Amino acid sequence: MHLLLVEDERRLATAVRRVLEEEGHVVDYVADGADALSQARSEEYDAIVLDVMLPSLNGYEVTRRLRSGGNKTPILMLTARDGVQDRVEGLDAGADDYLVKPFALAELLARIRAIGRRAQMSPAEPNTLRVGDLELDLRRREARRNGIRIDLTTKEFALLEALMRHPGQVLTRSQLLDLVWNYDMLTESNVVDTYIHYLRTKVDKNFEPKLIRTVRGAGYAIREG
């Protein structure tokens, strides 16, 4: 399995990584929440082993942001907190399993095998998103409307994907900033509005019906009718 290990306690991370690699897993390692978010969005992993207490972003927030962006990679959360509410918060954020420190490495390996098996049994995510006659091929990174190919930049594609993963749902500018640009501190920036204009020019201008909608005071949505 290709795993992402996120743990800021270096000695523990070293021990866990060594055991995982001895089991034949390929392990990428980061020690920061923001780095974990970026890495998980840029690479495909079979599972993520994620500590809760991290610099920049904690494990709960990393999980919430990944799930809100449509990332379904299984997440095993590690924490020193053993309260019921802590476990509930982790699972509600979208974690698949929860392991309390200190833990036996044999149990960690068993948990990873278990979430790997569950992931294999889950229905595969569709390779193509559709809204009306607009299609987005996620594997080929291609967009077509009424069979006509539409050339998109990387950010235009990511913005369109974010909208099409939530058809009919209004996404705020802050949500789109987080999903597409991986930050949320520029809530006053007009970058979202600018790229929505770019998308409309390519996706809607020469086609009917118009799909990309502005919801005043709220944000943007993509839908028919």
Terminal-to-terminal C-alpha distance of the chain: 44
pTM above 0.75, yes or no: no
**Domain residue ranges in the chain:** 2-121, 128-222
**CA 193 – CA 186 distance, rounded (Å):** 13
Q: Which CATH class is domain 128-222?
A: mainly alpha
**CA 215 – CA 171 distance, rounded (Å):** 9
The CATH number of 2-121 is: 3.40.50.2300
Q: Do domains 2-121 and 128-222 have the same CATH topology?
A: no
Is 159 within 8 Å of 199 (Cβ atoms)?
A: yes
pLDDT of the chain, 225 residues: tens digit per residue = 899 999 999 999 999 999 999 999 999 999 999 999 999 998 889 999 999 999 999 999 999 999 888 888 999 999 887 667 777 777 788 888 888 888 999 999 998 988 887 766 655 567 889 999 999 998 788 999 999 999 999 889 989 999 998 999 999 888 888 778 754 444 446 889 999 999 999 999 999 999 999 998 899 999 987
**CA 135 – CA 138 distance, rounded (Å):** 9
